[in-house]
Chain A
C-alpha cells in the first residue's frame, strides 16, 4: 500500500448517488497545497505529497491567471495585440512582443531598417536584464534573503529608467511595430547606457559576494533540483533552465534574428543542471547583455540617423511626420495601420525572451484581424519541470527550485 496512490474518478454508486471524486493517499503521505493564495506560490498551485519531509509527488496546477490572450488576439486587428501580448510578461515587454511583430512583418512583406533592428536589440537586452533581475528578486525572497530582493528590484529600476528614456514608458513599452520601432534614442542616451552598464558590472560583483557565494544560499542551491540534460531535452525545457542543464540552445544563435549575428557575445551554458547552475546562467546572461548594450549603443552613436521605419511606410509619410521623425525621433503611425489588412498566409515568429524561447504562429486570411495567433511561451514549457524536479527533495527545497526555474505564471497561462 505504501508508495501507491490510487485515484478514484467520479461515478454513480449502487444507489445512483454521485460519488465525489476522491483520492486515497498512500499511508504516511501528507498532502500539502502550496498555492494559489500562498506566500511562496505566485499565481499557481503546486500540490505536493510529502512523506515526512520529502516530496514524493508534485503536481503543478496552472491556469489561475489565464487571460485568453490567443482569443483576444483574433479580434483586435494587427497592431493592437502588441500592447496586449506585452501583458504576458510586462517586465520583458520587448522580448515577448518582438516575435509577433516579426511574424506580422513577414506576412506584410516589410522589414525594419538596420537602425530599427539595432534599437530593437537594445531594448530587448535592457528587458532581458530587467527580467533576470526581477527573477533574482523573487528568488531572493523565496530563500529568505530580503536584501537580494531589494537590491535586484532597485537595480532593475536603473534599466527601467533606461527603457523609459528610450520609449517613454516604464514597462509596457509597445516599442516595436510592424516595419520598425516607434522612437529613436534621445539625446544623451548612449552615455546614460554606458554608465548603467558600468554600474551593473560592479553590482554583479557585490551580488556574487552577498548572494551567490553566500554559504547559506550556496548550500540551498547546490545539487538541488537537478534536471539532467536528457530529461530537460525530453521535457522540452527552454531558456536559461535548459542552458543550465547543458543544452546548447538559444534562438539568438540557432536562428539569429534582428542583428544578433553581427554582435559579439557568448551564450553561457552550464552542465550541472542544478539550481545553482541555472542561477549562474542568468548572472552570465546579464553580463553578456551588458556587452551587447555597449556594442549596440556604440553603433547607434556612430552611425548617422536614418528613418526607423520600413522604406514602404516611410514613403507614405506626410511632411509633418518626416519633420517629427527628424526633430523628435518619434516615428508616427499611419492611420491605415489601425485597420490594415494583411495578405493571407502563415508565419512563425521565434525569439529568445528572458525565460526562454517564445513562438508565435500567426495566420492571416487576408482580413483585418489575425485568423489565429498561437502563442507558446517559455514558462508554459518550463512548468512541467516542477513535476520532475521536485520529487525526492525536501519541502524546503520547493521555493529554491521554484525560484531557480524562474517560473512566471502570467506568462505561462497567457
Chain B
C-alpha cells in the first residue's frame, strides 16, 4: 500500500484495419449519443438547482445575536464587510440611546468565501443557499443594515421549477424535480 511509479508505453496503431476500426468506433459512439442524447443541460431560468444546505450563498445578518466583535470585518479577504456605527435604544436603559457597531456588506466585492460566517463567534451570520440574485445597478449591491438582515428575494424561484442535482452512476448528473417547498 504505497504510491509507486507505473512505467507505461503507448500502443502503436498504424495498420489500415486499425484505422478503419477506430473510425467505425467513432461513428458508432456518435450515433449512439445522437439517438439517445442523455442530456445534462439545466434549462436555467425554467428550472433552477435547489442547492444543498451547506452551500455558501448570500450572507445574512441576525442582528440580535451580533456582539459587535468585528471579527467578520477583519477576516474578510476582499474587504467587502465593514463595521458601521448606529445609534439604537439600549435594552437596559430604554430612555438613553447607545452607540453600537454592526457589519454591513458590499456585494460588489464579496467573493463568498464564507470566512465571516465561520469566524462569527455567535453564529450571527449565515448563508442562504442561493446566490443568483440580480441587481439593476451597482449601488443596490451596497447593503445597509436593514437589507443585510433580510434574505434577498429569490426571483428565479418565482418563474422556475426547482430541481435537485444528483450524481448518477450511468448518466453523470441527473435532475430530480423538487416538490413545492420540498
User: Is B169 within 8 A of A199, CB to CB?
Assistant: yes
User: Is A265 within 8 A of B172, CB to CB?
Assistant: no
A32 interface residue per 8 A CB criterion = no
- Quick one: given A79-B75, A80-B75, are A157 and B40 in contact (CB under 8 Å)? yes
- Quick one: given A333-B75, A338-B75, are A168 and B118 in contact (CB under 8 Å)? no
Binds B, one of A266-274, A380-388, A394-402: A266-274
0/1 interface trace, chain A 161-202, chain B, CB 8 Å (1 if under): 110110111001010000000110010000010011011001
In the bound complex, residues from chain A placing their C-beta under 8 Å from that of B71 are 335, 338
For B166, the closest partner residue in chain A by CB is A192
In the bound complex, residues from chain B placing their C-beta under 8 Å from that of A269 are 5-8
In angstroms, how far is the closest chain B Cβ from the Cβ of A347? Answer: 21
User: Is B1 within 8 A of A264, CB to CB?
Assistant: yes
A52 interface residue per 8 A CB criterion = no
A318 to B122, CA, bound (A): 10
In angstroms, how far is the closest chain A Cβ from the Cβ of B174? Answer: 10
User: Is B22 within 8 A of A333, CB to CB?
Assistant: no
Binds B, one of A57-65, A106-114, A134-142, A324-332: A324-332
Q: Pick from A154, A183, A267: contact of B6, CB below 8 A.
A: A267
Chain A contact residues (Cβ within 8 angstroms of B): what range? 35 or more
User: Is B23 within 8 A of A215, CB to CB?
Assistant: yes
User: Is B167 within 8 A of A196, CB to CB?
Assistant: yes
Would you list 20 pairs from A and B whose C-beta atoms are within 8 A, ordered by A residue? A82-B77, A154-B173, A169-B56, A183-B54, A186-B52, A199-B172, A202-B170, A203-B172, A210-B25, A213-B22, A215-B19, A218-B13, A266-B6, A267-B3, A267-B5, A269-B7, A280-B10, A333-B118, A335-B121, A338-B71
- Residues of chain A at the chain B interface (Cβ within 8 Å): 76, 79-84, 147, 154-155, 157-158, 161-162, 164-165, 167-169, 172, 174, 182-183, 186, 192, 195-196, 198-199, 202-203, 206, 209-210, 213-215, 218, 248, 250, 252-253, 256, 260-272, 276-277, 280, 284, 318, 320-321, 324, 328, 330-335, 337-339
